Chain A
């Protein structure tokens, strides 16, 4: 508690400096009087006694200064004074200050913008209990329905019956849960109490199918209501319940507090709303367009509008699996391996069960080689991460270099100013100012610049992040990445600003400290640090060469980037690209059941006699990346229905 009282009295004395000073004056006066009295007693004449007492005490101001600087608040006060001086100096040269602030704002802003994205894409952990225990079975990044493959292959596709088996017996796991590998968009209508939904507005929202134990294994709590329970997912075709995301509840249902228990229709089938998840929860799969609804796997036929895949040995693989490791398996490698082996064992048995009675030896060996790696999923499963992670890291390095250039530039600026101020510095030293004080003032000026630059940079970052996200999302209204900085980002910006200030303030500070008494006050000392010769030229020279070097490097990199971008834009696709129109239709917003492909196509033809050609591109749900060797096995659930994209040639 003592330090608290110390703090309080320090702050008080800062505000009552005048009163304290007069008190100190009075004390000094009484000190002097006592000293004179003592000398009179010793037999000195009055005038001599006063003379001796004054001489003994020395400079009264010096004593006062010593008393004042014995307390911590004096440091604070002098820093405040430094700040004031720096502020005035910067205001006096507005051109220089503006250039410095703009380059700092751009440099720090770019760093903050990229870090905001990195923070969200690479660093953000799932908002669930003990996320470090979560593992995905296989990389689980691609999406779609696969057939003719083995369990767990091509990025971890599993069938419903196998998922059921592991859910019931998770072995060394705390639990294993399944979810649909993609979040198909469903037509969502709010139904009123009378049950008539014909006129209610409809909109599309991505819905994810999840197993009954999905939320309990994930360890996610709802904001209110309840999550999906295993009882909801018990029998295929039953359990028409749905959990909403915070985003959907807020944006589309106007935060209706009585939503739980109400009914909404998905593809025309009523579902009961049982709960709303917390803000920031998007499920274990972090998609660019995150899931807004969660329904039990048992309702697959309704939600996906696709014949039931919920039969044993359906041969259709559309689920991903994830598990929660035991705490022991997180800490202990051997235990983790045991868990991994248990999963592989089960997968091998599952493949054998599905391979028929006669298994050749080669096939047997092939099965035994199959592996479903357990991949840490504390940050969720994310295609965004693998798609953009590396580019973000490269970008981070590039913007860090840009900031370094800005630092070098400013350091040179400040060095030049320090050279101009050398006369002033020498005067201050001669008048008894301490070197620490001069270095401190130089650093304070640098920090003032860098912090203001950082503040401006936050604004730049906000705009830049928005632009980047808009570029990535390509027009999607809501995606999982947000431009708003959180505490971590603010801390990052603060740290970067401080580091920047230190980097470009260091050289001038050192040069200020080097200003010795040797560079005398004589007016002949005009040249820049003439006295210290080669050493004095070291800083500016090395700064300039570093600056040129990094700039050149960045210029080359940027040139290459631009060149690739141009090449991509002018890529030869093998067909004439002029005179083409692309029409996007959202047939599913209308009632999908009434639209059949042949009439829709002929309608397009009839409606567009002015076009030379009309091509309907099938709506491919899945976008298999080059890594998925088996992508010819993918089938889109929606190819047989109305197309999403139509090409016209005119």
Chain B
């Protein structure tokens, strides 16, 4: 099932729908820096993309659950900096491999699309 991104996001006109199939790659990339909880991942994606991508709970949590099932991430309950309990997601070695594979494929597609658009 392809991830559905930004289903309920209608408020921000400048924000954009995620391209189909890229949400998991972005999550992998985000988690590659450090283990994070669900909201943290969404926030990081929003911040780094400069507010272009907003990922809400309805797409983020199913994606994380899917990836956990696939073995790309694993989760554990930890205390946050504010001493609250939260589910943290960690990248597994399999996830790391998946990230590099996805990134490679993405670069290829991007450059191909760019060449077509510039031709």
Contacts and interface: CB of A to CB of B under 8 A. Distances in A.
* A, B co-complexed: yes
Interface of A: 2, 5-6, 9-10, 23-24, 26-28, 30-31, 33-35, 37-38, 56-58, 62-63, 66-67, 69-71
Contacts of A5: 71
Contacts of B65: 67, 70-71
B87 A70 contact: no
A539 B27 CA distance: 50
A35 B38 CA distance: 10
Interface of B: 1, 8, 37-40, 43, 56-59, 61-63, 65-66, 69-71, 80, 82, 84-87
A530 to B, nearest CB: 36
Contacts of B63: 70
A606 B66 CA distance: 95
Given A5-B71, A23-B87, A56-B56, 4 more contacts: A6-B69, A27-B86, A58-B58, A71-B65
Contacts of A27: 38, 61, 86-87
Given A57-B57, A58-B58, A67-B62, A31 B71 contact: no
A71 B40 contact: no
B43 A66 contact: no
A30 B86 contact: yes
A24 B77 CA distance: 12
Contacts of B80: 30, 34
Contacts of A69: 62
Query: Nearest 6 CB-CB pairs, A to B?
Result: A34-B39, A70-B62, A30-B86, A66-B62, A27-B87, A70-B66
Contacts of A24: 61
B69 A31 contact: no
A63 B57 contact: yes
A238 B28 CA distance: 86
Contact of A30 (B59, B66, B70, B87): B87
Contacts of B66: 70-71
Given A2-B71, A34-B37, A34-B80, A66 B86 contact: no
B40 A34 contact: yes
Nearest to B87: A27
A38 B86 CA distance: 15
Nearest to A30: B86
A58 B57 contact: yes
A38 B54 CA distance: 15
A2 B40 CA distance: 28
Given A27-B61, A31-B39, A58-B58, A71 B84 contact: no
B56 to A, nearest CB: 6
Nearest to A59: B58
- B contact patch SS: helix
A23 B64 CA distance: 14
B61 A66 contact: yes
Contacts of B56: 56-58
Given A58-B58, A62-B58, A71 B69 contact: yes
Nearest to A38: B43
A344 B70 CA distance: 68
A30 B69 contact: no
Contacts of A30: 37-39, 80, 84-87
Nearest to B59: A66
Contacts of A10: 69
A34 B85 CA distance: 11
Which residue, of B69, B71, B82, has the highest number of chain A Cβ atoms within 10 A? B69
Contacts of B86: 27, 30, 34
B37 to A, nearest CB: 7
A26 B40 CA distance: 16
A37 B84 CA distance: 11
Nearest to B8: A58
19 contacts: A5-B71, A9-B69, A10-B69, A23-B87, A27-B61, A30-B38, A30-B80, A31-B61, A33-B84, A34-B39, A34-B80, A38-B43, A57-B58, A58-B57, A58-B58, A63-B58, A66-B61, A66-B62, A70-B65
Nearest to A23: B87
Given A57-B57, A62-B58, A67-B61, A31 B38 contact: yes
Contacts of B61: 24, 27-28, 31, 63, 66-67
Contacts of A34: 37, 39-40, 43, 80, 84, 86
B85 A26 contact: yes
Contacts of A62: 58
B23 to A, nearest CB: 12
Nearest to B1: A70
A38 B82 CA distance: 12
A67 B4 CA distance: 12
B66 to A, nearest CB: 5
A23 B85 CA distance: 11
A140 B62 CA distance: 70
Contacts of B38: 27, 30-31
Contacts of B85: 26, 30
A23 B87 CA distance: 9
A62 B86 CA distance: 21
A361 to B, nearest CB: 85
Nearest to A64: B61
The winner among A35, A66, A71 for most chain B CB atoms within 10 A is A66
Contacts of A58: 8, 56-58
Nearest to B85: A30
A419 B61 CA distance: 40
Contacts of A57: 56-58
Contacts of B8: 58
A5 B94 CA distance: 14
Contacts of A70: 1, 62-63, 65-66
